[in-house]
Amino acid sequence: MIRNDIKALAAYHVPDSADLIKLDAMENPFTMPDALRKSWSEQLAQVDINRYPDADMQGLREKIAARAGVEAGQVLIGNGSDEIIQMLLLAVNPGTCVVPEPTFVMYDLISRWLKRHVATVPLDKDFSLNAKRLLQVCAREKAGIVFLACPNNPTGNLWPEETIRQIASNFNGLLIIDEAYGPFSERTHTHLIAANVMVLRTFSKLGWAGLRLGYLLGDAESISHLNKVRMPYNVNALTQASANFLLDHFAVFEQQAAEICSERERVMAAFMAMDEVQAFPSQANFILIRVADADVVFDGLKAAGILVKNMNGAGGLLAECLRITIGTRDENDAVLTAIREIMA
Ligand SMILES: Cc1ncc(COP(=O)(O)O)c(C=O)c1O
């Protein structure tokens, strides 16, 4: 009854994090200030939950558009950016999905659900991306769509704008620039939006992972077509009300993102001072490190009450690597202390 290729898939695994310091999923470690939390809950109490949510979300799209410097008609809202990746892979012309390797796993997984072939372009040892090589793969594989996570997950680096421009101007399929970690990076890419270039964003890493809200910015015509494969009520009424509220208090979350970036630099400097740790430059809210034995360090951190993401199983460039989300100052200190003890 179920397709054999679906039976053969490994389900997306979410580990149990009960009682652990949770640094495995790039969440914002800060909770909402109390006064804000109170007015947010008052706002939620106003929602008429007996009614279906606003299907068109014109008001929310206007708010997002104003912040992004585009028109409301250029905004598509999804139940997390994962849902938008699914809409894109459903609607885009037939053809291979081309992605760098390693990158965010959902591009590959959702392509498989939809029986779309995936081709990967290996990154270099320093995680740089060769645009010419990627374009060759696109031509050879007759690619329909390319996803570039900028900064990339799980490596944390941001490829030069020139690399992205080169791909954008020489690829005739659809290029998606995924800015999930844009709030922590030195550069974003709305200025590159064109008929074949769109920018994907999420609220998840900014402090609102529980909301499930992502959005796509693109040219109005393509967005209007993509809207046809969006479930009519894909974003629930509580999420819509929350997003409207939070966008009115955006500065609070920008301040938290700035604090995360400064903690990232402090943690990076501490890693650089450890001979046993190779830390890769990051423009995201996490740092990828390589150690002699990632499984031992992962288990040691867990025994110390800290959950990070062990990338070792993926092999290749991620062999002996751990991805560590930046937490609060105390959480980061706990990580550094535990790693020093494990290494000693
Ligand atoms: C590059 C990238 N894109 C998209 C997502 C998914 O974000 P969302 O929570 O909006 O589905 C993630 C989550 O880790 C990610 O790393």
246-290 residue pLDDT tens: 999 999 999 999 999 999 999 999 999 999 999 999 999 999 999
Residues of 269-299 as b/e, b for ≥16 C-beta within 10 angstroms? ebbeeeebbebbebbbbbbbbbbeebeebbe
Nearest CA to ligand 1 atom 13: 180
81 in ligand 1 pocket by Cβ < 6 Å?
yes
Structure tokens at 233: 């009520």
CA 85 to ligand 1: nearest atom: 4
d(CA 283, CA 262): 11
86 in ligand 1 pocket by Cβ < 6 Å?
no
60 in ligand 1 pocket by Cβ < 6 Å?
no
Q: What is the pTM of this model?
A: 0.97
Predicted local confidence at residue 14, as pLDDT: 87
CA 78 to ligand 1: nearest atom: 10
139-179 residue pLDDT tens: 999 999 999 999 999 999 999 999 999 999 999 999 999 99
Amino acid at 82: D
For residue 147, report the distance from its CA to the centre of ligand 1, in Å: 12
154 in ligand 1 pocket by Cβ < 6 Å?
no
135 in ligand 1 pocket by Cβ < 6 Å?
no
Tokens 């590159």, located at residue: 192
Q: Which residues pair with 324 in a beta bridge?
A: 287
83-121 residue pLDDT tens: 999 999 999 999 999 999 999 999 999 999 999 999 999
- Percent pLDDT > 90 in the chain is 97
Kind and range of the H or E run holding 237: helix 237-247
d(CA 58, CA 61): 5
Residues of 101-131 as b/e, b for ≥16 C-beta within 10 angstroms? ebbbebbbbbbbeeebebbbbebeeebebbb
50-85 residue pLDDT tens: 999 999 999 999 999 999 999 999 999 999 999 999
* Phi, psi of 153, deg, nearest 5: -110, 125
